Amino acid sequence: MARIRLGMVGGGNDAFIGGVHRIASRIDDRFELVAGALSSTPEKSAASAEALGIPRSYGSFEDMAKAEAAREDGIEAVSIVTPNHVHAAAAKAFLARGIHVICDKPLTSTMEDATALEDAVAQSKALFILTHNYTGYPMIRQARDMVASGDLGPIRIVQVEYPQDWLTSSLENEGLKQAEWRTDPTRSGVGGSIGDIGTHAHNLACFVTGLEVESLAADLQAFGVGRTLDDNAHMMLRFTGGARGMLWSSQVAPGNENALKLRVYGEKGGLEWSQEDPNYLWFTPHGEPKRLLTRNGAGATGPSQAVSRIPGGHPEGYLEGFATIYNEAADAIRSVQGGAVRAAAMGVLPGIKAGMDGMRFIGACVASSKNDAAWTKL
Amino acid sequence: MARIRLGMVGGGNDAFIGGVHRIASRIDDRFELVAGALSSTPEKSAASAEALGIPRSYGSFEDMAKAEAAREDGIEAVSIVTPNHVHAAAAKAFLARGIHVICDKPLTSTMEDATALEDAVAQSKALFILTHNYTGYPMIRQARDMVASGDLGPIRIVQVEYPQDWLTSSLENEGLKQAEWRTDPTRSGVGGSIGDIGTHAHNLACFVTGLEVESLAADLQAFGVGRTLDDNAHMMLRFTGGARGMLWSSQVAPGNENALKLRVYGEKGGLEWSQEDPNYLWFTPHGEPKRLLTRNGAGATGPSQAVSRIPGGHPEGYLEGFATIYNEAADAIRSVQGGAVRAAAMGVLPGIKAGMDGMRFIGACVASSKNDAAWTKL
Amino acid sequence: MARIRLGMVGGGNDAFIGGVHRIASRIDDRFELVAGALSSTPEKSAASAEALGIPRSYGSFEDMAKAEAAREDGIEAVSIVTPNHVHAAAAKAFLARGIHVICDKPLTSTMEDATALEDAVAQSKALFILTHNYTGYPMIRQARDMVASGDLGPIRIVQVEYPQDWLTSSLENEGLKQAEWRTDPTRSGVGGSIGDIGTHAHNLACFVTGLEVESLAADLQAFGVGRTLDDNAHMMLRFTGGARGMLWSSQVAPGNENALKLRVYGEKGGLEWSQEDPNYLWFTPHGEPKRLLTRNGAGATGPSQAVSRIPGGHPEGYLEGFATIYNEAADAIRSVQGGAVRAAAMGVLPGIKAGMDGMRFIGACVASSKNDAAWTKL
Amino acid sequence: MARIRLGMVGGGNDAFIGGVHRIASRIDDRFELVAGALSSTPEKSAASAEALGIPRSYGSFEDMAKAEAAREDGIEAVSIVTPNHVHAAAAKAFLARGIHVICDKPLTSTMEDATALEDAVAQSKALFILTHNYTGYPMIRQARDMVASGDLGPIRIVQVEYPQDWLTSSLENEGLKQAEWRTDPTRSGVGGSIGDIGTHAHNLACFVTGLEVESLAADLQAFGVGRTLDDNAHMMLRFTGGARGMLWSSQVAPGNENALKLRVYGEKGGLEWSQEDPNYLWFTPHGEPKRLLTRNGAGATGPSQAVSRIPGGHPEGYLEGFATIYNEAADAIRSVQGGAVRAAAMGVLPGIKAGMDGMRFIGACVASSKNDAAWTKL
């Protein structure tokens, strides 16, 4: 099957996430990166494109959208990997021309932008895919499948956390670009750790349990000197159907690299998963010995096997999980190109709804915290 | 040095915690159990005492207090290991006669009882020791020492949790005695999981960090059918000095036996400790590799070595940690008998203040939860 | 039931293992330590006895054996906790007088002594118990039970190791007493690490599998400068019935405290246990998810529950495992005092056979290694 | 930089390892797969090539070598991913025409073939790279660097093992193709588990320590019914310079997927690494707390960072480690194309010497085991 012609917006200047998207798009060989508007100036963009072997370079995403839409062999999809505040405008430019969008999260930096983007998605025939990449891990698919199958019984408790430590010191004052834009409200939006990683925790909890957060009570802190955005967030959650939870996100917890961890407990059993050891899933049926499920190992079910590339015991990691989003995006794109309805084609892929949920989550966190942690609806 | 003559109230009928106290009192050979009022009737008490080889048996704690106080060779100290609602009356009977009290936690079942007991302690010359046993673990002493030494810098974040699973099913409806009294407000007080295990989590967080909880916002749940007391509790904490925290206690989380876990993060580093693997302590100085400290291993400091009996790599456990409370109680008793001031003699031993803190913690949890998780002062 | 009157030989001068035996003898309250010949001179012995609150002190084990045997209320049993080369003479003195012996391992320092002791045991009516203490861990009992029950099918492979690191540097040249006698052939015998800890590994492998080592091929090394006894040993094992194995003992492996570890694999499944985390046992039935069994947790069977004192999740450790040997020794002693046959009374307790097996193991290791690792029968 | 034109021999029929090579070749975008002789017949090959989007398909490797060598835009390198007995002939066909070879391990199925291939490599100007892929893991590079830097001091002990469980049952009798050829001497050669995975363990031990195995004493078993090749192997190792070691390989150890594990101990410290958790490396400097190094985390040095794609805490896995071999192969190929000497261009890449070492290892294992585990030189 022919590879999908892909463009990229952002990702030029040694940005971490741009490189991740490119590797992810190659792993399963479904995409061919043929165009880019990789940086803020035409010169920088062209230099990056040449270094990466990308044939067509543009000075801006608008130029790229226009030109590619006009070509017979123009891009079919685009990856948007810029800082948050550019997502909306870039996505709209491509959606308006029927070019499928694969966009980094969180959705946008403001709720206004988010709503406008939501409209743009509704009016386009193209797909909008948000790279909530952790949903691509095989054992997360396994966990979701087990909850849906009733292995845990009705869910009572959800414990989710995403601690990091890289902002323990105030690196934004020392010239680190990643730290600068992530702690800058004009580029990141109103959420600090809650936007950058809290949204991942929130998304993952909902993805695995199939529940939605109805309301939350949040206490946000900015421990770093001079910070205005939260670098640590505590909150309690109330889910649809009566389950309760806690969520902790932090970027000032020394010793934690990307320690995203999810624990779910129901009337019949529990599950536990850690992003840093993603090939394992603890399953604890009540009253029986704990079981350690492994990726593609004994007990693995269809949904995890379907997104697993190699036998158990040879670990797959972050890039493979990310690649699964790209692989399923390729399936979805080919499917809608073949006439399928968008919603059906998306399958479990995170899209505009996941993005809007994330924006509402950020908004509720900030509102609750300003209101002394009062319960706030999403 | 002569062993301390010890009595015991409760602990007769195969009760879990009575046996623990007895083993703990023997490990370091500082006590001799010579008297007991072990059960609710004279006959049962006598039978238990004989089975255990305890020379003097009484039909009630009042009888025991009176008789032993009158003997030249009467007990010097008493262990109170009854359900919560008996603690206050029993403790007062012995304190009034100058007999030192070692009492199980939580302090009492009502705040009224607690206040009365506080008064009784104030008016007695005897010591009152509360068995917050987890403070006796060597690596907890190590953690406390490291925080006090500034190894972590000023504390920012405290994450503490104590999940269990034994009440996942409603065992109190199936005749399990332990489950019956613990879910019964008339015997346990207003706290369910928060009283039984949440107080341990609260106490440990404060013991290690040297901070106090100023206020909390709590969301309590009773998932078990027909339960009125909480079996799961989520809360956010605000500590003196600006640190923030989260606390989770649960008795309905399948796969968790006694998974008490404490994590503390400061400006310079972090610590992590799990009760189920108590001989280890993770220390994560910011920007350096994680270090795994072991009991009596490389890097162990004075306070942990002082309460450690055997070389590293041969695990000490729950009973040894509990025994440390008894060993230090023996030191304290001999010290006040020799004329020392009570406060000085107590050292780091938990006493009436820890007990009152626990009662205030329970009260604040219940009050906050009833008030939709509003911040509530302790 | 009355406590057993116990004496002790050795264990006076802050020796590690003497204190362990004393704590172990107290934990289950079955013994009362009433006499001792704790040190090499009457004065030192008396000082130690007084410090420990032991009523009767003797200047030598001969004096103690004679005097205690003559008393109506003399000791019923004696613990021998001296360096290896004293075991045989001391044990024989008490066995000859019908006093039960609880002896530290390895059996003796020479095969000659061992054979003489074997004869003495055969001629005595008293019990001889060797403290292969690791056999007292609950999850080791569980493992043995599971192998015996056929949960693993016929055993194919046994991997056992006991690495330590305390002799990485040549501490015996720096005045450390423990290091001095353990590296001295006149006091330790022909085995270094193989005698001190290799015998534990060998014993445990046999205890759990129910198999015996028929022959071995060993390569011993003395890495420490100036050492004559092995401080590291590699060997391959052939068991009765066709199972094969490997054994590694080391005292020069930095980062290992007492990392005794046993893995057993059969046609149907496997088991894995680590001494440093003794409350866990991995069970891996072939083709099913791994299961983590916990002490007194779900899946625990009779033999492990029988030697477990407290509920799961509250760890028991080294001292409790050691105490189990004492507790079962008490049962055995009362049983033979009541007329039971010695062999039946011993149950699973390690005795003279385990001791002789250990001596043959040491002998075979040394012989094989001298013979360029040729296969050598035990 | 232009991508290297790559061909592939084997890997057509859903073979596990062919797919791995293809993904590995794509991850860093250095290769373009343009030709293949993927299966045993022209028809099957063509079908596979079409399914994979490979433009040029050939009916045999001879045809491919000849045709591609004749094209201006012919392949520059070829991946050989057939069963072992085809490696030599295929590799020689390409080497003879100056086409670089990336070959799966072990080198060949017979020593005769190996020697012939060694000659062919010597006479060719092309590179020969053997995919000992585990050497590509970042923390293995870190370990090698630390040993070379003297962090461990002179090496004393090497413990390496590679247990699996997939041949616990005799799947070769149930039609599983992977099991059939791996247990068949005519296709696998004289080594079973020792050839398939023991060579990996041997290679990794040498790669990290910089030492060579001088001699070994091996005891091989075939536990599976009807098997002639070993499915379990125990051996003791003697390294150059005096270090000693043990190696265990097994395919019948239930609960082990690909549990390759390496431990190295020197006079000053130790290292421990597990393939199933490859982003971690334990470093245990003697007398200091254990340290857990993480990929790209604190303490990571140049050689591990150089082969690491993403920040610490986001795990890289097996495919990324494999991709590093491909990435470095691309560097080496471009380097020799630019005129560099072959040996210098190879850097740390495993080549024909590693392959011959593996063959000698297999040969020595079999010879030693037949000779009752006598020490045998490699």
pLDDT in tens, C271-323: 999 999 999 999 999 999 999 999 999 989 899 999 999 999 999 999 999 99
The pLDDT mean for chain A works out to 95
Helix and strand totals (H; E) in chain B: 14, 15
Band the pLDDT of A199: cuts 50, 70, 90: very high
* Cα–Cα distance measured from residue A84 to residue A101, given in angstroms and rounded to the nearest whole number: 15
pLDDT per position as a tens digit, A300-336: 989 999 999 999 999 999 999 999 999 999 999 999 9
**Cβ contacts of C1 on chain B, cutoff 8 Å:** 53
- Rounded to a whole number of angstroms, the distance between the first and last alpha carbons of chain A is 42
- Average pLDDT estimate for A17-31: 96
Domains and CATH numbers, chain A: 4-126 (3.40.50.720), 137-310+358-370 (3.30.360.10)
Note whether A257 contacts D311, CB cutoff 8 Å: yes
- Residue A173 is predicted with a pLDDT of 85
Give the CA diameter of chain B. 64
Q: Residue C372 above 90 pLDDT?
A: yes
**Neighbours, chain D (3 or more CB pairs < 8 A):** A, B, C
* Cα–Cα distance measured from residue A204 to residue D376, given in angstroms and rounded to the nearest whole number: 55
- Average pLDDT estimate for D295-309: 94
Band the pLDDT of C189: cuts 50, 70, 90: confident
**Cβ contacts of B283 on chain D, cutoff 8 Å:** 289
What is the Cα D14 distance to its own chain's centre?
20
Nearest one of D1, D93, D5 to D55, comparing CA atoms: D5
Note whether D3 contacts A318, CB cutoff 8 Å: no
**Neighbours, chain C (3 or more CB pairs < 8 A):** A, B, D
What is the Cα B146 distance to its own chain's centre?
22
Q: Looking at the partner chain, which of A52, A294, A311 has a beta carbon nearest the beta carbon of D16?
A: A311
pLDDT per position as a tens digit, D174-199: 888 878 888 888 888 899 999 999 99
pLDDT per position as a tens digit, A117-137: 999 999 999 999 999 999 999
Asked if residue D264 lies in contact with residue D139, where contact means CB atoms within 8 angstroms, the answer is no
Does residue D89 sit in helix, strand or coil? helix
Band the pLDDT of A16: cuts 50, 70, 90: confident
Closest chain B residue to C3, measured at CA: B53
Q: Looking at the partner chain, which of B289, B294, B297 has a beta carbon nearest the beta carbon of D291?
A: B289
Residues in contact with D85: Cβ distance below 8 Å, sequence separation at least 6, in sequence order: D108, D109, D110, D113, D186, D187, D188, D189
Lowest model confidence (mean pLDDT) among C229-243, C282-296, D8-22: D8-22
> How many Cα atoms occupy the beta-carbon half-sphere of A370 within 13 Å?
10
Q: Residue C244 above 90 pLDDT?
A: yes
pLDDT per position as a tens digit, A233-270: 999 999 999 999 999 999 999 999 999 999 999 999 99
* C-beta atoms surrounding A14 within 10 Å: 9
- A221 to chain C, minimum CA–CA distance in Å? 34
> Would you call A186 exposed, middle or buried from its count of C-beta atoms within 10 A (0-12, 13-18, 19+)?
exposed
Q: Residue D323 above 70 pLDDT?
A: yes
Nearest one of B105, B312, B79 to B191, comparing CA atoms: B105
- Residue B13 is predicted with a pLDDT of 67
Band the pLDDT of C13: cuts 50, 70, 90: low
Closest chain A residue to B371, measured at CA: A374
pLDDT per position as a tens digit, C74-121: 999 999 999 889 999 999 999 999 999 999 998 999 999 999 999 999
- Residue C376 is predicted with a pLDDT of 98
Note whether D315 contacts A311, CB cutoff 8 Å: no
Q: What are phi and psi of A369, to 5 degrees?
A: -65, -40
What stretches of chain D show up as alpha helix (H) in DSSP? 16-27, 42-52, 61-70, 87-95, 111-123, 138-148, 177-182, 185-188, 193, 199-209, 302-305, 318-337, 342-346, 352-370
Asked if residue D73 lies in contact with residue D100, where contact means CB atoms within 8 angstroms, the answer is no
Residues recorded for chain A: 378
Q: Looking at the partner chain, which of C258, C310, C317 has a beta carbon nearest the beta carbon of B20?
A: C310
Asked if residue A352 lies in contact with residue A121, where contact means CB atoms within 8 angstroms, the answer is yes
Asked if residue C99 lies in contact with residue C71, where contact means CB atoms within 8 angstroms, the answer is no
Note whether D269 contacts C285, CB cutoff 8 Å: no
Does residue B248 sit in helix, strand or coil? strand
Q: How many CB pairs below 8 Å do chains A and C form together?
A: 32
Note whether A259 contacts D312, CB cutoff 8 Å: no
- Residue D174 is predicted with a pLDDT of 84
- Residue C1 is predicted with a pLDDT of 65
Note whether C290 contacts A291, CB cutoff 8 Å: yes
- Residue D176 is predicted with a pLDDT of 82
Q: Where are the beta strands (DSSP E) in chain C?
A: 4-9, 31-37, 56-57, 77-80, 100-103, 128-130, 155-163, 213-221, 232-239, 244-250, 261-266, 269-274, 280-285, 290-294, 376-377
List residues in chain B touching D: CB distance below 8 A: 283, 287-294, 297-299
* Cα–Cα distance measured from residue C325 to residue D14, given in angstroms and rounded to the nearest whole number: 57
Note whether A156 contacts B217, CB cutoff 8 Å: no
Q: Pick out chain B residues at pLDDT < 70.
A: 1, 13-14
Task: Return the structure tokens found at D263.
Answer: 């431990």
- Residue C20 is predicted with a pLDDT of 96
- Average pLDDT estimate for A358-370: 97
Note whether D288 contacts B297, CB cutoff 8 Å: no
Note whether D236 contacts C232, CB cutoff 8 Å: no
- Rounded to a whole number of angstroms, the distance between the first and last alpha carbons of chain C is 42
Q: Name the packing angle between helices D318-337 and D138-148 (round to 10°).
A: 70
Rounded to the nearest 5 percent, the helix, strand and coil shares of chain D are: 40, 20, 35
